[in-house]
Amino acid sequence: MELTRKTLAKYFDHTFLKAYATEDDLRKLCNEAKEIGAAMVAINPEWIEFCKKELAGTDVHVGGAVSFPLGQTGLKNKLDECHNCIEAGADEIDYVINVGRAKMHDWDWIRNEMEQLTKLCHDNGKIIKVIFENCYLEKDEIRQLALIAKDVKPDFIKTSTGFGTGGAKVEDVKLMVDTVEGEVKVKAAGGIRTWEACKAMIEAGAQRIGTSSSLKILEGFDQQ
């Protein structure tokens, strides 16, 4: 399919996850998302109800970030937070895995966490994305996480929070895409600020792009 400005915008999870977010920031984010036709706004749970109202009558989804950005809140708290996001009106959930458990190769723990959160979202008709935070992982660990996801079947696996020591890498997107073999989609996020970087992620197989630079990327696309 040929990429147009409209279809490119539908890749974007238009993002504002800063600690200093205000109503003005989130209103601006929602207005931009409506204007370009983004897939989703990616926000902290505090702002779900606000953004849901701002985006009423549009097809732009509201996405809540769960256990963000460290993933170290424990499964019960993640489930509670996920449930609260859904109750507030979230259409999609992006949660951070327990990276320490992945580094310990405690794959049963990771699988259980993924299964329970995926079930909660899918039982409520919501999309779920699993954030790996690849900057802290070896390639074999990324592959093992992707294999678990291939079996559990969340909607997306995702490269990064954007708050770690590194963001999305083309080689990691390719690894994730190749490993899940079409059973799960891949979202690239973290440090994607130009059309060239975005294009490389899409060509590697990413089906969502998490970015706070959606407008800048579209400008680059228009100028090519």
Residues that are catalytic: 94, 158, 187
Q: Cα separation of 169 and 21, whole Å?
A: 27
For 174, phi then psi, to 5°, come to -60, -45
Question: Do the Cβ atoms of 184 and 199 come closer than 8 Å?
Answer: no
Residue indicated by tokens 């539908």: 10
Question: Which distant-in-sequence residues (6+ apart) come within 8 Å of 9 by Cβ?
Answer: 36, 37, 38, 39, 214, 218
